[in-house]
Amino acid sequence: MSDLPQMNPTGRFTGLAEGYARHRPEYPADAIDCIIKQCGLGLASVLVDVGSGTGIASRQFARRGIPVIGVEPNEEMRRQASRESMEPGIPVPEYRAGRAEATGLPDGTADAVLAAQAFHWFDPEPTLREFHRILKPAGWAVILWNERDEADAFSAAYGKIIRSTPQAALTESGRRRMGEPLLASPLFADGSTNRFTHQQELDEEGMVGRALSVSYAPREPNAVVAFTAALGEVFARFAQNGRVVLQYQTTLVMAKRAG
C-alpha cells in the first residue's frame, strides 16, 4: 500500500482494542487445521503471529497446543491480548512489542510465521525479508484473512454501510490483494492459495460493535450516530429472531522459505 505511512497502521487501532477483542470473528477451524498440517506444527513448534492484535489467531493456535509468540506494535492491543483468558492447560501466547519489518526476534526462531488480518498494514518487501530471517529452514510464511462474502444479501447491505466511510475503499482493496507479494517473492517457494467459508452470527449490539471495530469506522460523535442508525436499518431488514449472519470468505496463502 503506497500510502502506508499516511494510513498510520499502528496508531489507528488505539481506542479499538476492547471492541476488537469482543466483536471480531475467529478464523475457520478448517483453515487452522490446514495451516497446522501443511506447516507440520506440533507441541515443540514455534508459531510467530505478526500483527497479533488482541490475540484472536494466537489463541486459536494455542488451543491446539502450539506455542505462540505474538508480535504487535500497538501497546493497547497487546495489553488487551494479555488480558484475554485462556483455559487451564493451554500454552499462553507470549506477546511482545515489535513491527512486521523488525520483529526483534533472533534468526531462525519460527517454524511458521503468520499474519492474520494484518499483512495489508505491512511494507511487503522488508516484511518478507524479516519473515525469511526469523523462519527456520523449510519454515512457512502464512497470510490469513476474513473478507465479507457479499454474494449474501445481508453481508452486501452491511458492506455498503462500511464502505461509506473515508479510507474504506483503499483499505479494503489492499486487503483483497494482500497475498500477492508472498506468492511473487523469490524468498519463498511452493506457494498456494486456499479459500474457506465462514460466518459470524450477531445480535444488533454485536453487529454494530463489529462495524465500529474497523479502523476506518467513524469516531466523530455525530458521524457515529449516523453510521449506527444506518446499520440499525440494515439489521431491521434482515434480522431473524433478533440475529443476523455475516458471511465471510476466508483466504489462506502459504509459501515455504527458500534457501
Give 15-60 pLDDT, tens digit per residue: 889 999 999 999 999 999 999 999 999 999 999 999 999 999 999 9
Looking at residue 194, what is its pLDDT? 98
Contacts of 124 (CB under 8 A, 6+ apart): 181
Looking at residue 9, what is its pLDDT? 64
Read off the pLDDT of residues 213-234 as tens digits, 9 standing for 90 and up: 998 899 899 999 999 999 999 9
Looking at residue 174, what is its pLDDT? 60
Read off the pLDDT of residues 154-208 as tens digits, 9 standing for 90 and up: 999 999 999 988 777 667 766 668 899 999 999 999 999 999 999 999 999 999 9
On whether residue 13 sits in a domain, the answer given is: yes
**Residue 115 sits in which domain range?**
4-147+168-198+249-257
Helix axes 204-212, 153-162, angle to 10 degrees: 40
Q: What is the CATH number of the domain that holds 194?
A: 3.40.50.150
Looking at residue 8, what is its pLDDT? 66
| Number of domains composing the chain | 1
Pick the range with the lowest mean pLDDT from 6-20, 72-86, 219-233: 6-20
Asked whether residue 116 carries a pLDDT value surpassing 60, the answer given is yes
**In whole angstroms, what is the distance from residue 189 CA to residue 173 CA?**
25
12 pLDDT band (50/70/90 cuts)?
confident
CA distances from 38 to 50, 65, 140, 201, 209 (A): 19, 16, 9, 29, 34
On whether residue 40 sits in a domain, the answer given is: yes
On whether residue 84 sits in a domain, the answer given is: yes
On whether residue 221 sits in a domain, the answer given is: no
- For the chain, the straight-line distance linking the first and the last C-alpha, in angstroms and rounded, comes to 27
On whether residue 15 sits in a domain, the answer given is: yes
Could you say which DSSP state residue 45 is in?
-
Q: What is the pTM of this model?
A: 0.93
Task: Using DSSP, state whether 253 is helix, strand or coil.
Answer: strand
On whether residue 210 sits in a domain, the answer given is: no
Identify the CA nearest to 113 among candidates 125, 97, 92, 129. 129
Asked whether residue 143 carries a pLDDT value surpassing 90, the answer given is yes
On whether residue 237 sits in a domain, the answer given is: no
On whether residue 140 sits in a domain, the answer given is: yes
Q: Which three cell numbers stand for residue 158?
A: 452491511
Q: Which three cell numbers stand for residue 165?
A: 466511510
Asked whether residue 6 carries a pLDDT value surpassing 90, the answer given is no
